[in-house]
Structure 1
Amino acid sequence: PRCTFWTLVPAADGHQEWDSNSRLARSRGVAFSYLAVGGKDRRTSVLIMDPECSRLLPALCAVLADPRQPVADDTCLEKLLDWFKTVTETESSLQLLQDHPCLVELLSHVLKPQDVSPRVLSFALRLAGAFAAQEDCFQYLQQGDLLLGLFGEAGALGWSAWSIPSVRSGWIQGLCALAHHPSALHFLADSGAVDTVFSLQGDPSLFVASAASQLLVYILALSMQGRDAGSPIPEVAAWPVCAQKIVSHVQESLHSTAAPQVTQALNVLTTTFGRCRSPWMEVLWGQLSPLVASLLKRDPIPAAHSLVDLLLSVARSPVLSSAACGPWEILAQTLHRLSPTQAGPLALGTLKLQRCPQELRTQAFGILLQPLACILKATAQAPGPPGLLDGTAGGSMTVDTLLSSKSACVGLLCQTLAHLEELQTLPQCPSPWPQEPLLDAAVIILRLCDGSADPSSSGAGRLCGTLAGCIRVQRAALDFLGTLSQGMSPQESMLQVFAILLKNLESPESSPTVLKKAFQATLRWLQSSVKTSGCSDLSPDALLFLGELFPVLQKRLCSPCWEVRDSALEFLTHLSQHWGGQADFREELQSSEVPMLACQLLQDPESYVRASAVAATGQLFSRGLQATPTSSENLQAQQGLLMDLMYILSTDSEGFPRRAVLQVFTQWLRDGHADVARDTEWFVTTVLQAVSRDLDWEVRVQGLELVQVFLTQTLGRFRPRCPYAVTLPEATSPTPHPEFLRTLCRLPLFEFVFRALFDCDRPVAQKACDLLLFLRDETAPSSGPQETRDGPNSASVEVALQRWQEGEQGQPLGDLEPEAMLALLRSLDLEGLQGKLAKSSDHIEKSPQSLLQDMLATVGMLEENEADCY
């Protein structure tokens, strides 16, 4: 489509403004361009080489080439590079260099790296790669051996700055940008650059080493591009030169006895098979798979973690998973040879595969279950159904690992529990799932940790000594126990689970993190008991459990540790949400001191606890779960809580409690809470007066959410509709009810929303703009320029608009009549403002001219008033 560029023109006041009629903000020194496509008013920033930038470029290149000048920081250089990349995407790089010879001079100057700072050298290498990505520009830069001096093996390795990681990283990134066409591949093969990349795989900088491996994968894929279009794939010996060199290097590395070289080769192959989806990968795997399999014959197996990643990458490949030379045999051998800790991730990954032989799935699942089966056997528990413990050599290896050291035992158990927890939630979860043995194993692990297990063998005794008080294993076991609540369990197992959970919750030795996990697992098992009973009420066993749990909860609400008090309050909130309406639950809760203690924690010294107390008490009172016995005291307590929450909203020094209060108030308003419904206008007015002064933007956003709920409910009240009425669709929206408009003008609602509309925090302004759009569509659907000019109270509307747009928000907006309010909504360009707010906050200042001016100003090349620092 034809494009029209919208540019900035000087204004009379020395600023610049758009020469269109749009209401975009002004900004000094903006050299931005906007693009209107197809005649529509859709504008997106387009960075182009305008005349002013062309004028500034020679001076900037001279500064960058001068080692005596203080070079701009890395952020400026990154922005400059991004701009050049954008220019090369829309313009000819060759034409750009021909029109601006200073750029070629800069690239030529960095061939003498002793005269250039390392950051400029890194920048120039990446810039040269971006230019050379276009083949005609590549040929242009080849003249005079410029590219050979920058990227050739003889040039780069001789630089003193080569010892700096950022220079090596810039060299790799430049090569990656350059490699886009056949000429670049020939250059890579002939210049020795590929050999340099091989050496950089073992770079001491992890960033450089990773980038080198990624570049090799990219070069290999580029070399083989177009080689699989219908014709048979030749053997590796007939592949392009670059591809042959990379494959040969990988083969040599796999033959190496040094583990780092083997790791590098496996990482390259993992990335290759993970990214590429071409038939030539089958040829590559067929040639290299024997070398990969030979690694299993070494003792110990080198780079075991990288080997696992490679095999899973190959197994996930749609090309290789269905090929004749698929990875299944090597996968089975590897599962058998790896240690239990190493085999766990491979077993889990194998069970996640879509295409996997059933025999291999069975083997992988057995390996995952092996540590828990050993725990059951060591503690004289039944090993469960066949297959849970198969008596192979792997079983003895797992026992040795569990008993070898505390770190090995803890690491293996935590890994196993996490893997099984993840597996149970997946569609590929094995069936049948050994629910009962796994429950027994999780419970016995928790008993080993808290010291309540009765060891019956020397192995069990050693496990007790190893796991006693181990918080890591306790957390992992509680997470796994919570996940097991999704499966069907007999009543005896549920009683066993409730017993161990109660023991962890009441134990004085339980850490705050263990208690939090125990609360979470308890909630999941209580929900599971509901499913088991077939209704929404708690089962009798669960109610008995709650009778024992509430005294423990009282104790935890009085804990000296704030994390424990916070977790207990969160648990109480969830309990009330799920079962606050059940009579038996209400009776158990109200017979305890839990509601009273929750109210007392509204004055807790810790802000997180106060926030959780607000949520808990708000939920309790919305369900009528007060601890007071008489109705009059109930009413007084409810009103007291409302005023307490109002006080927190107005005075609390921390944002978390204030946010929690707004969430409770919004929910109360939405649910028609009695205290709110008694005088809704007073409630909304009081809340907005407090929120309008709040410095926390999340509180202000939540205040706008409360306004949204109020408007929706008020509109519904003034627009009753009969569900049985059959009416024709109206041509226009109905006129808003006068009483609705008077209600809006009577409250400080508009002043609050307009303050939010001009808020310095963009989420607040966006929410306010959306809210005004909703209100305008409901109350002022018909709008036009003539209506705005000729509407009632037009003078006051214009004054109000001018005052608010200029940021004079210290003065009140003043009383608005309904007609003036409607005129105000019609006159605002809310759609335009919504689009402007959707942009990033720096969309005006982010311009190439501004960037060049700022970089030159830092070295005194420009007068101060020419720079537009951002």
Structure 2
Amino acid sequence: MDPECSRLLPALCAALADPGQPVADDTCLEKLLDWFKSITEAGSSLQLLRDSPCLVELLLQVPQAPGLSPRVLAFALRLAGLLAAQEACFQFLQQGELLPGLFGEAGPLGGAAWTAPTVRSGWIQGLRSLAQHPGALPFLAELGALDTVVALQGDSSLFVASAAGQLLAHILGLALGGQAEGPPGPPVCDWPASAQAVVGHLEEALSSPAAPRVTQALHVLTTTLGHCHRPWTQVLWARLSPLVARLLEKDPVPAAHSLVDLLLSVARSPALSSDRGWWETAAWALGHLRPAHAGPLALGLLTLQDCPQALSAQAFAVLLQPLACVLKATAQAPAPPGWPARPEGDPAAATLLSSRSACVGLLCQTLAHLELLQPLPQRPAPWPQAPLLGAALTVLRFCNGSAVPAPGSDVGSRLCAVLAGCARVQRAALSLLGALSEDAGPPELVTQVFAVLLDYLRSPDSSPTVLKKAFQATLQWLLSTPTPPGGCAPDPPAQPFLGELLPVLQRRLCSPCWEVRDSSLEFLTQLAGHWAGHAGFRHALLASEVPELARQLLQDPESYVRASAVTAVGQLASRGLHAGPERPGGPQKGALPELLGVLAADPEGFPRRAAMQVFTRWLRAGHAEAAADPERFVAGVLRAAGRDLDWEVRAQGLELGRAFLERVLGRAGPPCPYAVAAPEPAAPEPAAQALRAACRVRLPEFALRALFDCDRPVAREACALLLLLRDQAAPGHGLPEAGPAAAPVEAALQRWRAGEQAQLLGPLEPEAVLAVLRSLDLEGLRGALAESSDHVERNPQSLLQDMLATAGLRGDNEADCY
């Protein structure tokens, strides 16, 4: 601890122990604890107390101070636990009876302050920090803390209840930390008393008819078995697994969600999953849990690398059961190979028939689980791609009313009523349908996929969120479509679809709903990026009104739509698909003037940011409108960006400057393959020529001004760019040493540093720029800018000063953070 902090700490401790003083907020107290934690981690807690006796006085006074803030009480409890985590300090505090005074009946535990959840939470966290060594166990037993912790598991505050359960698991692990490593380990009757007490509590809770108590016990077990893989956990599981299995015999199964978490925690434990009895318990659970809980368990088992084949098949059948019901509801044909047969009488069918919320919830869960399972290497094989495609399409048809239920099917009639227009199920089914594009499928099913997607894209009943999912799934299927040799046209199933897609997209771009227009523009951008090389798509797109509509949306009243339109127009222009503003058949201008107009005049930041991103991509890719005259292009963009009030636009201007500098230094990326008559990039210039080119586009002025920007990310990017510029234009590249021309630049920098940003420098000579770059400590600036924005506030001395200022004890120490 530095001397100034040592000088300030006694006054702060006195203020904290005084009920009449204003209390610092929770954030300051949390930072103070973090500071003490960093000190104890680096050295001795006992030495800290010897060097700062005011901390001992604070811990002694807090329990005796009536009316003290609950926040300060909680802080003192947590600080005591933090200090006592080291055994030497624990013994020192025990000698003075300080710890019983804080954590026993003499402290907040027996007073009115205990009613505050903050105090109860601080008490638990303090004990959790304290219980790091065997000496803490007798102390907890003397306090009778275990009974209090057990009672706090049912606390009205979820934070307190959760912390109590974690503390019980921690006590069990601490008590058994010295047990022998060799299996099977001593029986529970030979465990330490504290561990036996915890096990006794778990046994009692697991046998309780009250579901909350069962839930609490399951949480403690899950925490214990999930974080500790020592041999004694096998003894614990052997002792308690019969009680867990007995829960599965009840109807309904109590605390089913917590029970699934426990079973999966056991399955992931190397010390427990090798037990054959565990796999039998898992199989029993799959057959007795209701579908809403069996599904998560089945998914968890299927993600395991060493799940037995029979159990994996059972889990997959459980996962498929709801979709098997859906397929059965529309046809009398037998179930596909590998799918559950006769689903009408199983629990999944009963759930689908029970209530609308249960039906929708089960289908959404099943669809989401299968989407998660699809890309995993350990998914079941063979993967039933065709039946899954058929089931997803059937669900979507139930949702849009085009499915025909099988005669006499109760599930089919129920699904027709429940799923009609259900956006939640539609989104889940479309997500799964998109994920299934990775494996294609029979051509007739692929044709049906495109037909259903087109129905959803056309339907006026599709909500904006459903339409967005439909666009995403469409793009996934188009990208997965195999391309014939030569790459001139898409695969036959997609060819007619593309012809029908563009008129639909055209209508969606005219939608009165801005979310729909925005999603349509995003889809157009991605579609053009991936399909611009196909002659058929290019011809169809240019023959449609889509490019012109995208251009018109640059004037949309909604800023998000304008931003998406900027990106779409930039993508189309880079692929040679841009629609100019002139009448059809006349000469067309490029997109550059319009996008520069957006950058210069749009009132919102989103479109201007999008324009800067487009310009940077154009320059890196060698797009014709940027490559024809790179200096004029960059100068015009920087001129507009330099006046922008949005920091992201200014930062992107620096990124554009970096791209330009790399280009003139010979590091340009590959030219865009779709650029129209793009000139070849010039040969790499010497470093001196690069600096002169940077000066002609006024890049040094832009970067130097940004170096003193009030937004730290802009200043950091400017510093990096100036370092690149200086290092590439180092002495020895043909530039003379600086003369008096650097004086005006340095004077302007002083004014900019003081906050006067109005003055412009005008054209700069390379010599002056190089002199200024050599005079600046750019490495030092880079280090200063790399610090977080609150590095002053996080300084311990500053923190203590601020807390004293809050208490009205400022003295000579002025607050420097607020």
Scaled by the length of structure 2, the TM-score of the pair is 0.93
Q: Which of 120, 145, 155 is residue 97 of structure 2 equivalent to?
A: 145
Residue 806 of structure 1, CA deviation: 4.2
Q: 1:350 — aligned with what? A: 301
Q: Distance in 2 between matches of 1:313 and 1:762?
A: 44
Tell me the secondary structure at the aligned position of residue 97 of structure 2.
Answer: helix
2:804 partner amino acid: L
1:139 partner amino acid: Q
Tell me the secondary structure at the aligned position of residue 346 of structure 2.
Answer: helix
Q: Distance in 2 between matches of 1:608 and 1:741?
A: 38
Q: Which moved more, 1:411-420 or 1:687-696?
A: 687-696
Q: Which moved more, 1:696-705 or 1:394-403?
A: 394-403
Q: Distance in 2 between matches of 1:602 and 1:794?
A: 43
Q: Which aligned pairs between 1:551-570 and structure 2 lie closer than 5 A?
A: 551-570=503-522
Residue 865 of structure 1, CA deviation: 5.9
Q: Which moved more, 1:131-140 or 1:557-566?
A: 131-140
1:572-619 deviations in whole A, cap 9, x for unaligned? 111110111211101111221111111111100001111111111111
Higher relative contact order (CA 8 A, sep 6+): 1
2:709 partner amino acid: D
Q: Which of 702, 714, 720 is residue 770 of structure 1 equivalent to?
A: 720
Runs of 5+ consecutive residues of structure 2 not aligned to the other structure: 670-683
Q: 2:192 — aligned with what? A: 240
Q: Which aligned pairs between 1:120-159 and structure 2 lie closer than 5 A?
A: 120-152=72-104, 155-159=107-111
* Gap change, CA 1:370 and 1:581, over 3 Å in 2: same
The reply on whether 1:656 has 2:587 as its aligned counterpart is: no
1:242 partner amino acid: S
* Gap change, CA 1:791 and 1:274, over 3 Å in 2: farther
Q: 2:677 — aligned with what? A: none
Q: Which of 419, 430, 433 is residue 380 of structure 2 equivalent to?
A: 430
Q: 2:615 — aligned with what? A: 665
Q: 1:715 — aligned with what? A: 665
Residue 345 of structure 1, CA deviation: 0.3
Q: Distance in 1 between matches of 2:379 and 2:219?
A: 29
Q: 1:759 — aligned with what? A: 709
Q: Distance in 1 between matches of 2:732 and 2:192?
A: 68
Check whether the contact 2:166–2:223 (CA below 8 A) recurs between aligned residues.
yes
1:329-362 deviations in whole A, cap 9, x for unaligned? 1000000001111100000000001111100000
The reply on whether 1:170 has 2:131 as its aligned counterpart is: no
Check whether the contact 2:489–2:495 (CA below 8 A) recurs between aligned residues.
no
Q: Distance in 1 between matches of 2:132 and 2:732?
A: 55
The reply on whether 1:88 has 2:40 as its aligned counterpart is: yes
Residue 653 of structure 1, CA deviation: 1.3
Q: Distance in 2 between matches of 1:121 and 1:630?
A: 74
Tell me the secondary structure at the aligned position of residue 203 of structure 1.
Answer: coil
Q: 2:458 — aligned with what? A: 506
Q: Distance in 2 between matches of 1:828 and 1:779?
A: 15
Q: Distance in 2 between matches of 1:859 and 1:708?
A: 50
Q: 2:801 — aligned with what? A: 853
Q: 2:757 — aligned with what? A: 809
Q: 2:779 — aligned with what? A: 831
Q: 1:277 — aligned with what? A: 229
Check whether the contact 1:659–1:702 (CA below 8 A) recurs between aligned residues.
yes
Q: Distance in 1 between matches of 2:603 and 2:742?
A: 42
Q: 2:788 — aligned with what? A: 840
Tell me the secondary structure at the aligned position of residue 157 of structure 1.
Answer: helix
Residue 366 of structure 1, CA deviation: 0.3
Tell me the secondary structure at the aligned position of residue 430 of structure 1.
Answer: coil
Q: Which aligned pairs between 1:197-276 and structure 2 lie closer than 5 A?
A: 197-230=149-182, 233-276=185-228
Q: 1:867 — aligned with what? A: 815
Q: Distance in 2 between matches of 1:104 and 1:645?
A: 67
Check whether the contact 1:780–1:825 (CA below 8 A) recurs between aligned residues.
no
1:381-426 deviations in whole A, cap 9, x for unaligned? 645433312347x952211111111111111110000001110011
* Gap change, CA 1:155 and 1:857, over 3 Å in 2: closer
Tell me the secondary structure at the aligned position of residue 432 of structure 1.
Answer: coil
Q: Which of 679, 699, 702 is residue 629 of structure 2 equivalent to?
A: 679
The reply on whether 1:378 has 2:326 as its aligned counterpart is: no
Check whether the contact 2:511–2:517 (CA below 8 A) recurs between aligned residues.
yes
Q: Which moved more, 1:532-541 or 1:560-569?
A: 532-541
The reply on whether 1:117 has 2:65 as its aligned counterpart is: no
Residue 300 of structure 1, CA deviation: 1.4
1:710 partner amino acid: F
Residue 799 of structure 1, CA deviation: 4.2
Check whether the contact 1:347–1:364 (CA below 8 A) recurs between aligned residues.
yes
Q: 1:190 — aligned with what? A: 142
The reply on whether 1:550 has 2:502 as its aligned counterpart is: yes
2:704 partner amino acid: F
1:428 partner amino acid: Q
1:312 partner amino acid: L
Residue 162 of structure 1, CA deviation: 0.5
Q: Distance in 2 between matches of 1:820 and 1:214?
A: 65
Residue 144 of structure 1, CA deviation: 3.9
The reply on whether 1:692 has 2:617 as its aligned counterpart is: no
> What percent identity do the matched residue pairs reach?
66
* Gap change, CA 1:578 and 1:763, over 3 Å in 2: same
Runs of 5+ consecutive residues of structure 1 not aligned to the other structure: 1-47, 720-733
* Gap change, CA 1:788 and 1:678, over 3 Å in 2: closer
The reply on whether 1:701 has 2:614 as its aligned counterpart is: no
Q: Which aligned pairs between 1:403-418 and structure 2 lie closer than 5 A?
A: 403-418=353-368
Residue 550 of structure 1, CA deviation: 1.2
1:730-776 deviations in whole A, cap 9, x for unaligned? xxxx9945433322222211111112222222222222222222222
Check whether the contact 2:63–2:101 (CA below 8 A) recurs between aligned residues.
yes
Tell me the secondary structure at the aligned position of residue 182 of structure 1.
Answer: coil
1:497-546 deviations in whole A, cap 9, x for unaligned? 11111111111111111111111111111112236889574113312111
Q: Which moved more, 1:344-353 or 1:706-715?
A: 706-715
Q: Which moved more, 1:488-497 or 1:81-90?
A: 81-90
The reply on whether 1:330 has 2:281 as its aligned counterpart is: yes
Q: Which moved more, 1:610-619 or 1:306-315?
A: 610-619
Residue 829 of structure 1, CA deviation: 2.6
Q: 1:17 — aligned with what? A: none
* Gap change, CA 1:588 and 1:350, over 3 Å in 2: same
Residue 804 of structure 1, CA deviation: 4.5
1:285-317 deviations in whole A, cap 9, x for unaligned? 111111111111112111000010000000001
Q: Distance in 1 between matches of 2:510 and 2:419?
A: 29
Q: 2:673 — aligned with what? A: none
Q: Which moved more, 1:518-527 or 1:710-719?
A: 710-719
Q: 1:302 — aligned with what? A: 254
Q: Which of 57, 60, 69 is residue 9 of structure 2 equivalent to?
A: 57
* Gap change, CA 1:101 and 1:622, over 3 Å in 2: closer
Q: Which moved more, 1:619-628 or 1:594-603?
A: 619-628
* Gap change, CA 1:782 and 1:263, over 3 Å in 2: farther
The reply on whether 1:538 has 2:538 as its aligned counterpart is: no
Check whether the contact 2:175–2:194 (CA below 8 A) recurs between aligned residues.
yes
Q: Which moved more, 1:57-66 or 1:264-273?
A: 57-66
Tell me the secondary structure at the aligned position of residue 856 of structure 1.
Answer: helix
Check whether the contact 1:485–1:525 (CA below 8 A) recurs between aligned residues.
yes
Check whether the contact 1:66–1:115 (CA below 8 A) recurs between aligned residues.
no
* Gap change, CA 1:867 and 1:412, over 3 Å in 2: closer
* Gap change, CA 1:649 and 1:794, over 3 Å in 2: closer
1:140 partner amino acid: F
Q: Which moved more, 1:273-282 or 1:623-632?
A: 623-632
Check whether the contact 2:551–2:579 (CA below 8 A) recurs between aligned residues.
no
Q: 1:487 — aligned with what? A: 439
* Gap change, CA 1:430 and 1:796, over 3 Å in 2: same
Q: Distance in 2 between matches of 1:330 and 1:231?
A: 22
Q: Distance in 2 between matches of 1:865 and 1:188?
A: 42
